[in-house]
Structure 1
Amino acid sequence: MDAVHDLPLFLAAGLLLNFTPGPDMLYVIGTSTSRGVRAGWLAALGIGAGCLVHVGLAAVGISAVIASSPWAFELVKYLGAAYLVYAGLALLWRRGPAADGGAPRATDGVFVQGMLVNVLNPKVALFFLAFLPQFIDASSPGKAWAFTILGLLFTATGTAVNLAAAAAAGTLQARLRARGGGPGRWIDKVVGGVFVALGVRLALSART
Structure 2
Amino acid sequence: MSIAFLATALIAVATPGTGVVYTLSAALSRGRRASVVAAAGCTLGIVPHVVTTITGLAALLHASALAFQVLKYLGVGYLLWMAWATLRDREAIVVRADGAPRSAVKVIVTGVLINILNPKLTVFFLAFLPQFVDADAPGALPRMLELSGVFMLLTFVVFVAYGVLAAAVRTHVLSRPRVMAWIRRVFAVSFVALGARLALT
TM-score between the two structures when normalised by the length of structure 2: 0.87
Distance in 2 (CA, whole Å) between partners of 1:121 and 1:98 is 23
> Residues 34 and 187 of structure 1 are in contact (CA less than 8 Å); yes or no, is this contact kept in structure 2?
no
1:40 and 1:97, CA in 2 relative to 1: closer, same or farther beyond 3 A?
A: closer
Identity of aligned residues (%): 36
Alpha carbons of 1:93 and 1:182: their partners in 2 closer, same or farther (altered >3 Å)?
closer
One of 162, 173, 177 as aligned partner of 1:177? 173
1:179-208 deviations in Å (ceiling 9; x for gaps): 6587133332322222222223222x22xx
| Residue number in structure 1 paired with 2:193 | 197
- Please give the alpha-carbon distance, in whole angstroms, between the structure 2 residues aligned to 1:150 and 1:170: 30
- The answer for the alignment partner of 2:139 in structure 1 is 142
Partners in 1 of 2:188 and 2:172 — Cα distance?
20
User: Which runs of 5 or more structure 2 residues have no equivalent in the other structure?
Assistant: none
Q: Which runs of 5+ in 1 are unaligned?
A: 1-5
* 1:108-147 equivalent positions in 2, closer than 5 A: 108=103, 109-147=106-144
Distance 1:150 1:82 in 2: 30
Task: Tell me the number of residue pairs that the alignment of Structure 1 and Structure 2 aligns.
Answer: 199
Task: Mark the CA change 1:40 to 1:93 in structure 2 (over 3 Å): closer, same or farther.
Answer: same
CA distance in 2, matches of 1:148, 1:100: 39
CA distance in 1, matches of 2:40, 2:13: 14
Aligned to 2:50: 55
CA contact (8 A) 2:86 2:93 kept: no
Q: CA RMSD in A?
A: 2.4
Query: Do the aligned partners of residues 51 and 171 (structure 1) sit closer, same or farther apart at CA in structure 2, a change above 3 Å counting?
Result: same
Q: Point out 4+ residue stretches in structure 1 off by more than 6 angstroms.
A: 96-100
Of 10, 20, 28, the residue aligned with 1:15 is 10
- Whether contact under 8 Å (1:56, 1:148) holds in the other structure is no
CA distance in 1, matches of 2:91, 2:13: 35
Does residue 1:157 correspond to 2:154, yes or no?
A: yes
Is residue 38 of structure 2 the alignment partner of residue 43 of structure 1?
Answer: yes
Asked if structure 2 preserves the Cα contact closer than 8 Å seen for 1:27 and 1:195, the reply is no
Shift of 1:175: 2.8
Q: Per the alignment, do residues 98 and 80 of structure 1 end up closer, same or farther by CA in structure 2, a change over 3 Å counting?
A: closer
Check conservation: 1:102, 1:177, Cα contact below 8 A: no
CA contact (8 A) 2:18 2:194 kept: yes
CA contact (8 A) 2:95 2:173 kept: no
Q: 1:87 aligns with which of 82, 102, 114?
A: 82
Equivalent-residue separation in structure 2 for 1:97 and 1:56 (angstroms): 32
1:38-69 per-residue CA deviation (whole Å, 9 max, x = no partner) reads: 22222211110011221111111111111111
C-alpha displacement of 1:151: 0.5
